[in-house]
Amino acid sequence: MCGIVGYIGSRPVLAVLLEGLRRLEYRGYDSAGVVFWEGETLKAIKSKGKVYNLEEKIYQEKLNPSSPGLGHTRWATHGEPSEFNAHPHFDCEKKIAVVHNGIIENYYDLKKFLKEKGHKFISETDTEVVAHLIEECLRETPTFFHAFMRAINLLEGAFALACISLEEPDKIYVARWQSPLVVGFGEGENFIASDIPALLSFTRRVIYLDDGEWGVITKDRAHFYDFHGNTREKLVHYVSWDLASAEKGGFPHFMLKEIYEQPEALKQTLLGRLNLSQKRIDFYYDGLSPEFFNNLERIYLVACGTSYHACLVGKYLWEKVVPWPIEVEIASEFRYRQTPLHERSLLVVLSQSGETADTLACVKIAKARGAKVLSICNVVGSSIARESDVVLYTQAGPEISVASTKAFTSQVLMLIMLSVFFAELFHSSSVEETVKALINLPSQTKMLLDKVHPFIREVAIEWHGASNFLYLGRNILYPIALEGALKLKEISYIHAEGYAAGEMKHGPIALVDEKFPIILLTAKELGIIHEKTISNAEEIKARRGPLLVLTTEGTSELADKCNAIFYLPSTIYALIPILYVIPLQLLAYEIANFKGCDIDKPRNLAKSVTVE
Ligand code: M6R
């Protein structure tokens, strides 16, 4: 997820671009850049880090800037955060400048093709391919208009693009496929941006590009087309949000926004790995080959907090398909144990930030003892990613809220994809059903969010005054019970525990009374395990514990044993954790909201724990 801004008109172009970038910084903050007209050339200024670094750099230069201009704040997906990889990116002649949000899925093949044609690349990004591709298309088409249209038709993946060129001095070209882009209208000036906050200081009249649309923007007009070149009529909307709520996309908190971003985060994480034509998963573009897993004896899944819960899910998934034993460890414990690590061990670490001190220490220890390290991180170029032999990036985009939500579901998705990869590698089970379910997962989670949220709000109204909560689940729902409890305690400050439901009668049952809400997770897809969980519901009912049950459609036997019940869509085993954690994230959020807690920045907690 990156931020794009563009301007054409007579205001000071850099002032408009920097104001827009500051407003978009929540979308990405590892590097930033601008490009604008300076005399007869396109001038770019880029810097690593936050927008103020770019600002300082700009103020140190003697410039004579004019519009059109583009700005970009980056959240890396391909290539480390650096000035080289910061946008804008140019063609060989520095005549075409491009900024981009999204992932060009076929960039590798395009880059190969363009290199064969003599194009020279200077960055590791997927975006640079676009500038060279337009340049290449210009060789074969009469106008820039046609070259741009041809180029966007050759791109696969997700993109919001903006482009300026020496060929067309008074125009900004834009295109959208699966990444947002808006155009803002002024008097004798126009704006483009990936999100509304960048525009609100200047205009409230906007149009939203739809997927498969592109446009040409001048200071007085804007023309829109589909990818075949047919004209599109667009409706102008009036935005009434204030700036603060606009940055959160209209949501009151980043946490809620990020919960609702999960369908998109899942979609982005699938991109480039889910091979739709062959109905299989591969990690070709991540550089992960089957040979990486040769000669292994044991796998350790290691992480902290929410990422540790994802590791636990991984164990349930992987032990069905791989031939090695799998150990799951908390990083702060693992680093001080005398685990027999050697060249036949594989350490798999999970970290949203890629900077968690304990997890990073485990990586270093494992490497020092000759073990292989595979990391699953959300932040490109982070310390853990750099230290690993192979890194698989979740593509959840920046997670601002301290409570991790979309990073968790994207991590679990990565573990599911790896389980499919292993199943094929070891012929341990058929993958067709899982791949089919993965294709539908983003839309399924979107529907679930809409349906479950009003239900959860009602539960929160009733229960937000309780002082203790217990979350119970078995098998693959046990880690989800742990995660549900962690979410509640960290943002609402209510004491909550997650337990394996089968352990209830070994202790926690002593706590059950009419003031002790229990959330019981089960799914008919768990077969005999589901039957066992029904007995837990009986035991809780007998002790008058207020009980919320989450189960799957087609189970009627629990309705009379609880105070509230929600039926999730029936699904395959692997996808159960992703679907079930969503209502629990919402429950924590709604309860914390009723209590008036500082949801995005809970007391005593930091987003990234870089000290021991
Ligand atoms: O960045 P990481 O995934 O390595 O962070 C690990 C934990 O600190 C993190 O998951 C923490 O537990 C979250 N606040 C949970 O919401």
Residues listed for the chain: 612
Cα(266) to centroid(ligand 1), Å: 19
Cα(545) to centroid(ligand 1), Å: 31
Which numbered atom of ligand 1 lies nearest the CA of 608?
Answer: 1
β-sheet bridge partners, residue 469: 496
Which of 308, 404, 605 should be mutated for ligand 1, with most atoms under 8 A from CB? 404
pLDDT, one tens digit per residue, over 338-383 is: 999 999 999 999 999 998 989 999 999 999 999 999 999 998 878 8
Q: Which two tokens stand for residue 314?
A: 């991984």
> Active site includes 163?
no
pTM of the model: 0.81
CA-proximal residue: ligand 1, atom 14 (nearest): 403
Q: CA-based angle 105:109:113, to the nearest 5?
A: 140
Contact assessment for residue 84 and residue 45, using Cβ atoms and an 8 Å cutoff: no
Question: Is residue 77 scored above 90 in pLDDT?
Answer: no
SS (H, E, C) 79-92: CCCCCCCCCCEECC
C-alpha to C-alpha distance for 301 and 316, rounded to whole angstroms: 12
At which residue do the structure tokens 């292993």 appear?
Answer: 422
- The DSSP letter of residue 88 is P
CA-proximal residue: ligand 1, atom 12 (nearest): 305
Q: Compute the radius of gyration of the chain from its Cα atoms.
A: 25
One of 94, 320, 595, 607 is an active-site residue; which one? 607
Mean pLDDT across 408-436:
94
CA-proximal residue: ligand 1, atom 11 (nearest): 305
Which of 312, 329, 330, 352 should be mutated for ligand 1, with most atoms under 8 A from CB? 352
pLDDT, one tens digit per residue, over 173-225 is: 999 998 889 999 999 999 999 888 899 899 999 998 988 999 999 999 999 99
C-alpha to C-alpha distance for 399 and 258, rounded to whole angstroms: 7
Cα(39) to centroid(ligand 1), Å: 49
How many Cβ atoms sit within 10 Å of the Cβ of residue 225? 17
User: Which candidate, 301, 401, 316, places its Cα nearest to that of 351?
Assistant: 301
- Tell me how far apart the 2 most distant CA atoms of the chain are, in Å: 81
C-alpha to C-alpha distance for 145 and 229, rounded to whole angstroms: 10
| One-letter identity of residue 420 | V
* 275-305 CB burial, b ≥16 within 10 A, e <16: eeeeeebbbebeebeeeebeebebbbbbbbb
Q: What percent of the chain has pLDDT over 90?
A: 81
3-state secondary structure of 162: strand
- The DSSP letter of residue 523 is -
Residue 245 pLDDT class (50, 70, 90 cuts): low
- Distinct helix (H) and strand (E) counts, the chain: 17, 27
What does the pLDDT read at residue 546? 95
Q: Which two tokens stand for residue 418?
A: 């790896």
What does the pLDDT read at residue 379? 81
> Active site includes 607?
yes
C-alpha to C-alpha distance for 520 and 547, rounded to whole angstroms: 7
Tell me the DSSP string of 320-355.
Answer: TT-SS-EEEEEHHHHTTS-----TTEEEEEEESSS-
Pocket of ligand 1 (CB under 6 A): 304-307, 351-353, 356, 359, 402-404, 490, 605, 608-609
C-alpha to C-alpha distance for 272 and 270, rounded to whole angstroms: 6
Mean pLDDT lowest among 383-397, 439-453, 585-599: 383-397
Cα(306) to centroid(ligand 1), Å: 5
Q: Which two tokens stand for residue 65?
A: 């800037």
C-alpha to C-alpha distance for 553 and 571, rounded to whole angstroms: 9
Q: Which two tokens stand for residue 99?
A: 């900024």
C-alpha to C-alpha distance for 282 and 538, rounded to whole angstroms: 45
Q: Which two tokens stand for residue 420?
A: 């499919």
C-alpha to C-alpha distance for 30 and 47, rounded to whole angstroms: 9
What does the pLDDT read at residue 564? 95
pLDDT, one tens digit per residue, over 107-134 is: 999 999 999 999 999 998 999 999 999 9
Judged on CB neighbours under 10 Å (0-12, 13-18, 19+), 364 is middle
Contact assessment for residue 194 and residue 180, using Cβ atoms and an 8 Å cutoff: yes
pLDDT, one tens digit per residue, over 291-326 is: 999 999 999 999 999 999 999 999 999 999 999 999
Cα(351) to centroid(ligand 1), Å: 7
C-alpha to C-alpha distance for 27 and 195, rounded to whole angstroms: 9
